[in-house]
Amino acid sequence: MKIKPKFTISTKKINGWITFIILLIAAVISVFPFFWMVVGSTNTSADVTMGTMSFGSALKVNWNNLVEKASLLRIFWNTAKTTLIYTFLSVLICSMAGYGFEKYRSKSRNLLYNVFLISMMIPFASQMIPLFKMMNKLKLMDTHTAIILPTLAMPFLIFFFRQSFISFPTEIIEASRIDGANELRIFFSLVLPPMRATFAAGFIYSFMKQWNNYLWPLIVLQSNEQKTFTLLLSSLSSAYFVDYGQLMLAIVLATLPILIVFLTMQKHFVTGIVGSSK
């Protein structure tokens, strides 16, 4: 008579534990930079340089130094204003463009759409000089309008929305047209509500892109009154003597809005990305 061992570990359980350990390590590596930022914002510059990983008591000092260095309220307002306006306009324009490319039939549709896709391969560095001359000619230099206008129609976002609209039944749209509904009413009342997840994903992508925008604002914004968070971080990190505690606190403040937006809309973001890839 064979005696069965009391404890047996199946291959499925071993694979599960290995997967869990790998994911745990990946999560720690991903969260560690943010944890280091938060810890560094409470320490002095010397402590941050030495790699101190414990919370300190210099948070108030770093805050006072940062407030003296820059007008945080004005910079936050500038960044929030440009980001929100850009996000709403870009999502609206790109979603309507993606809807038009998918649901309207014409001979030049595919040609124009291919031109948009090809433009994704053109580096922004090659567009800076023409855009700079254009903004200067329009007398928009050192204005937030110059930040918002050039990249409102993002090729990637148009592609993203078009892929999502493929799954929307064309028969429903045609039936609404027969009933007398105009195109704007069809888009906002019929198409938009069931595709909230797709719009949420586009909102997050556009928000993060504009909030972290650095190179173009650096070129067109010339006064301190118009500066955004990315330019503040650049000026703090490029100082002759860098106050790392103050810099870490500024980075934490600049990261919080993105973190809040992403965590709030995370479920819709995942659903929208998955839906657009089907």
pLDDT digits (tens, 9 = 90+) for 20-40: 899 999 988 988 888 888 898
pLDDT at position 78, please? 92
Residue given tokens 């994911």 in the structure block: 23
pTM of the model: 0.82
Ranges in the chain, pLDDT < 50: 276-278
Write the pLDDT tens digit of every residue in 66-123. 888 888 889 999 999 999 999 999 999 999 988 888 888 777 778 888 888 888 888 8
pLDDT at position 9, please? 62
pLDDT at position 272, please? 60
Burial 91-124 (b: 16+ CB within 10 A, else e): bebbbbbbbbbbbeeeeeeeeebeebeeeeeeee
User: In this structure, are residues 58 and 41 in contact, taking their beta carbons and an 8 Å threshold?
Assistant: no
Ordered domains of the chain (ranges, CATH): 13-61 (no CATH), 70-243+252-277 (1.10.3720.10)
pLDDT at position 277, please? 44
